[in-house]
Chain A
């Protein structure tokens, strides 16, 4: 199990969510979510598929708007930001997609350089190359620089997806199902990478997952989501001591006990 990061600053809340509601038609996805993420903390949101976990992080980054409630990221109310301010904020927040969402027509190197060049018109080619090398080294895929996304395995694609977010040096990382669809060994590698990113780049993170091993290995704290609400929040041990059917069934169906 992961040791709690000693660098966590409990007085510095980087993400604060209060009474968050979101519906799609008659489907009430989020029903009053409250969550604080402190500086340097990895918070795992654990829950079954379709419980609104991904919707939650899409609201945090402004891809979706809430029906009610507030989301403060680095002291800014996301729903109230102008387009330009939202773009500014997004440079501080890295988002790793479940599918990695790499640009098919670009090589790995171009995928990584793209956000950097777009957000910094003055940057030289040498600087871009150096940054690309640094993040590729951080995810352990320096040799893949000239490959196309279609030539990569699922695990490699996820790593490059993480590298693409790291290149903008974000303060916050949002991981959407980082281990979904990967073999157990690659899952361990991704879990280690998430912890390495936290240590090396001093990021705060929300990790969305239904993988208990991932939750155990990467989370400083865990929030369990059921039907759009958190039914338990706290450390891994605290949460899994609770008498809740969902939590117990998660435990029963995983082989890590």
Chain B
């Protein structure tokens, strides 16, 4: 921070706190620009579909594995406690509530924050430091609309779909354990599992996944788009994208759970 006469300006509070508030301000400007560009013609359909493929389809293998293991392990861990009360028949609905209300959105978001967030942060960061974003600007292309809007939209749209998929795979993992131990049929398992799931649960989870997707997209794009300091900046952008996304996801989880529980 320097004034125009060349003398360093005195920080208002302290350099660190000042920098924090400046970052908050620029982030809000970035988010505001996203919404402004989102509704401005032309819409980047092809790039949006490409990004959906990258975010959604390319994450399926990892999501399948983690979702399945989450459901299976959670069932195995819950079984002994329920057995003590002879309540193992509650397992399907217990697991469904846990998976649909909390685990599926959270696991999907954390996996995507790691995989997609770091990838977006590194890609845009690398484009920034190698002047590819500047090259787009001077070619009369709007890089914000092409790179940022499409990616944020893709993560926002794909996260709820991935979340639903994770929930399904997680329940299948749970069914495997229940079937092995109780020889329950798949129809009965799913009927029992969804017996206690309400519309509010489905709506809240979908909303949560959208919020997490938006957070991952906007944080990663912001970090990558504003990267500096060469290759070191690219690594930093990828790393900070993941850390901040995960941090914000947990904060959002707490807030949304409080709001939903107050409605319930």
Task: Give A contacts to B, CB under 8 Å.
Answer: 23, 25-26, 28, 58, 61-63, 67, 87-88, 90-91, 93-95, 97, 99, 101-104, 114-115, 118-119, 121, 164-165, 168
Q: Are B7 and A26 in contact (CB under 8 A)?
A: yes
| 15 pairs of residues in contact across A and B, judged by CB atoms under 8 Å | A23-B4, A23-B6, A25-B2, A26-B6, A58-B134, A62-B137, A87-B140, A97-B134, A104-B132, A119-B139, A119-B140, A119-B141, A164-B135, A165-B138, A168-B140
Annotate B228-247 by CB proximity to A: 1 below 8 A, 0 otherwise: 00000000000000000000
Chain B residues in contact with chain A, CB under 8 A? Answer: 1-2, 4, 6-8, 42, 126-127, 130-132, 134-135, 137-142, 146
Min CB gap B33→A, angstroms? 11
Q: Find the A residue at minimum CB distance from B1.
A: A25
Query: What residue of chain B has the Cβ atom nearest to residue A21's Cβ?
Result: B4
A23 to B5, CA, bound (A): 10
Known: A25-B2, A28-B6. A101 touches B137 (CB 8 A): no
Contacts of A102 in B (CB 8 A): 132, 135
- List, in ascending order, chain A residues with CB within 8 A of B135's CB: 95, 97, 101-103, 164
The answer on a CB contact under 8 Å between B134 and A90 is no
Contact B140 A91 (CB under 8 A): yes
In the complex, what residue of chain B is closest to A116 when comparing beta carbons?
B139
Which B residue sits closest to A103, measured CB to CB?
A: B132
Question: How many residue-residue contacts, CB under 8 A, span A and B?
Answer: 65
Q: Are A61 and B138 within 8 A (Cβ)?
A: yes
C-alpha spacing A90/B127, complex, angstroms: 20
Q: Which of A67, A88, A101, A115 has the most CB of B within 10 A?
A: A101
Contact A118 B141 (CB under 8 A): yes
Interface centre among B2, B137, B140, B142 (most CB of A within 10 A): B140
In contact, B139 and A115 (Cβ under 8 angstroms): yes
Residue of A94, A115, A165, A168 ringed by the most chain B CB atoms within 10 A = A115
The distance in angstroms between the C-alpha atoms of A40 and B139, with both chains bound, is 21
Taking a contact as CB atoms under 8 Å apart, the answer to whether B131 and A101 are in contact is yes
Decide yes or no: A101 and B134 within 8 Å by CB, A23-B4, A28-B6 being known contacts: yes
Q: B140 near A115 (CB under 8 angstroms)?
A: yes
| Cα distance, A147 to B247, chains bound together (Å) | 41
Cβ–Cβ contact B130 & A67, under 8 A: no
Asked if B140 and A90 make an inter-chain contact with CB atoms under 8 angstroms apart, the answer reads yes
With A25-B2, A26-B6, A121-B42: A93-B132 Cβ-Cβ less than 8 Å: no
CA distance A104 to B146 in the complex (A): 16
> A58 — nearest CB in chain B belongs to which residue?
B134
The CA-CA distance from A35 to B42 in the complex, in Å, is: 37
In the assembled complex, the Cα of A63 lies from the Cα of B2 at a distance in Å of: 21
Distance between Cα atoms of A164 and B8 in the complex (Å) = 42
Cα A91 to Cα B140 in complex, Å, equals: 6
Alpha-carbon distance A88/B132, docked complex (angstroms) = 19
Q: Choose among A26, A63, A103, A114 the residue that contacts B137 (Cβ–Cβ < 8 A).
A: A63
Return B225 CB to nearest CB of chain A, in Å: 14
Q: Is the CB of A26 within 8 A of B2?
A: yes
Query: What is the CB-to-nearest-CB distance from B4 to chain A, in angstroms, rounded to a whole number?
Result: 6
Q: Cβ of A168: which chain B residues have Cβ within 8 Å of it? A: 139-140
Which 6 A/B pairs are nearest by Cβ-Cβ distance? A25-B2, A115-B139, A101-B135, A101-B131, A95-B138, A26-B6
Contacts of B6 in A (CB 8 A): 23, 26, 28
Q: In the bound complex, what is the Cα–Cα distance between A95 and B131 (angstroms)?
A: 11
Q: Chain A nearest CB: distance from B153 CB in Å?
A: 18
Question: Nearest residue in B to A93 (C-beta to C-beta)?
Answer: B138
Structural contact, B137 and A90, CB atoms closer than 8 A: yes
CA distance A115 to B135 in the complex (A): 10
B139 / chain A contacts, CB cutoff of 8 Å: 90, 114-115, 118-119, 164-165, 168
